[in-house]
């Protein structure tokens, strides 16, 4: 197992689709693959509806200095202990179909979400990141859901429900955690290159990236999880296991497939032309879940 940092939510630059990049901190000569996972860990991923192909064991150090074992899949990090405890597993309905358990979403008692944009010296959001965060939070608060985001900027992050910070990595993109125990994913990392990506459209790009990562933190998978825009990979199906369809939204889940909501904020990758706004079906999905 290697200590890695992962750039996900791949950027698509100059019209050329690029695969997700990873910036390895140690032992860059050996590629990390799902073979590093034990059989039990792979089975736990499958129970969570996540394809183990390309999954990587690693250590994630968050802004509070805590290092924990995680499994990296695309642009989200699954806490290894919680994964093995079954917290991310999909429940089974009476008809045998898979559905999300309650603790994969945010409980009603945690509907008010205190979110902070970090401005401390080590990991401060740039001005464009701060603008993107403000716009993204405005978008969530405009929708008719029980979720209410209260945004502040500063360094007093310990008591906050979500912490958005600059992880200092090159390239554009970010990474987030899924909800756990009825609470949203807490730490949202934004890659340093995001702050200047997109030229004159940079504020909208930052709104898009940060809004996308908040989407993971409240429980969303990628809209194109079955064939990603980045590299054509399938991040969500192992045998008959997959992500859960949200009623009222298209069933298409592969990039290039007819009927796919290509305007969705939760498409796996971006190219710098995004407007940062939710699609109509994104709104349907949020209002259905919350």
Residue 126: which CATH number?
A: 3.40.390.10
DSSP symbol at 190: E
Asked if residue 282 belongs to a domain, the reply is yes
Asked if residue 13 belongs to a domain, the reply is yes
Tokens 């630059």 identify what position?
13
Length of the chain: 290
Asked if residue 146 belongs to a domain, the reply is yes
Asked if residue 96 belongs to a domain, the reply is no
Asked if residue 238 belongs to a domain, the reply is yes
Domains in the chain, number: 1
Report how far apart, in Å, the C-alpha atoms of 62 and of each of 52, 59, 67 are: 24, 10, 7
Asked if residue 30 belongs to a domain, the reply is yes
| Residue 54 Rama label (left phi>0; alpha psi -120 to 50; beta) | left
Asked if residue 18 belongs to a domain, the reply is yes
Q: pLDDT tens per residue, the chain (290 residues)?
A: 222 233 333 332 222 222 222 222 222 222 334 447 888 888 888 777 776 767 788 887 777 777 888 887 767 677 888 878 877 777 655 445 444 343 478 999 999 999 999 999 889 999 999 999 999 999 999 999 999 999 999 999 999 999 999 999 889 999 998 888 899 999 999 999 999 999 999 999 999 999 999 999 998 888 888 787 887 777 765 443 356 788 899 988 889 999 999 999 999 899 999 999 999 999 999 999 99
| Model pTM score | 0.76
Asked if residue 95 belongs to a domain, the reply is no
Quote the CA–CA distance of 207 and 40 in Å, as a whole number: 38
Q: Tokens representing 153?
A: 């900027």
Closest CA to 59 of 85, 40, 32: 32
Task: Please give the residue range of the domain that contains residue 180.
Answer: 4-90+102-289
């Amino acid at each position: 197992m290697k200590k890695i940092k992962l750039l996900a939510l791949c950027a698509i630059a100059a019209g050329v689709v690029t695969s997700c990049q990873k910036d390895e901190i140690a032992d860059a000569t050996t590629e990390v693959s799902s073979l590093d996972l034990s059989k039990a860990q792979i089975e736990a991923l499958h129970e969570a509806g996540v394809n183990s192909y390309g999954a990587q064991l690693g250590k994630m150090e968050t802004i509070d200095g805590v290092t924990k074992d995680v499994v990296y899949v695309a642009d989200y990090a699954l806490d290894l202990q919680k994964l093995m405890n079954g917290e991310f597993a999909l429940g089974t309905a009476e008809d045998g179909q898979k559905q999300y358990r309650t603790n994969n979403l945010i409980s009603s008692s945690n509907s008010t979400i205190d979110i902070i944009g970090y401005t401390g010296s080590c990991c401060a959001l740039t001005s464009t990141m701060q603008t993107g965060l403000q716009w993204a939070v405005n978008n969530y608060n405009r929708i008719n859901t029980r979720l209410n985001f209260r945004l502040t900027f500063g360094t007093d992050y310990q008591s906050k429900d979500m912490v958005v910070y600059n992880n200092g990595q090159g390239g554009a993109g970010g990474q987030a955690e899924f909800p756990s125990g009825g609470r949203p994913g807490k730490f949202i990392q934004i890659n340093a290159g995001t702050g200047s990506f997109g030229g004159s459209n940079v504020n909208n790009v930052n709104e898009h990236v940060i809004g996308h990562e908040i989407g993971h933190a409240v429980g969303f998978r990628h809209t194109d999880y079955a064939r990603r825009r980045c590299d054509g990979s399938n991040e969500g199906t192992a045998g008959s296991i997959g992500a859960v369809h949200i009623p009222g939204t298209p069933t298409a889940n592969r990039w290039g497939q007819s009927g796919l909501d290509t305007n969705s904020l939760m498409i796996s990758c971006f190219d710098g032309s995004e407007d940062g706004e939710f699609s109509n079906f994104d709104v349907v999905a949020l209002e259905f879940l919350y």
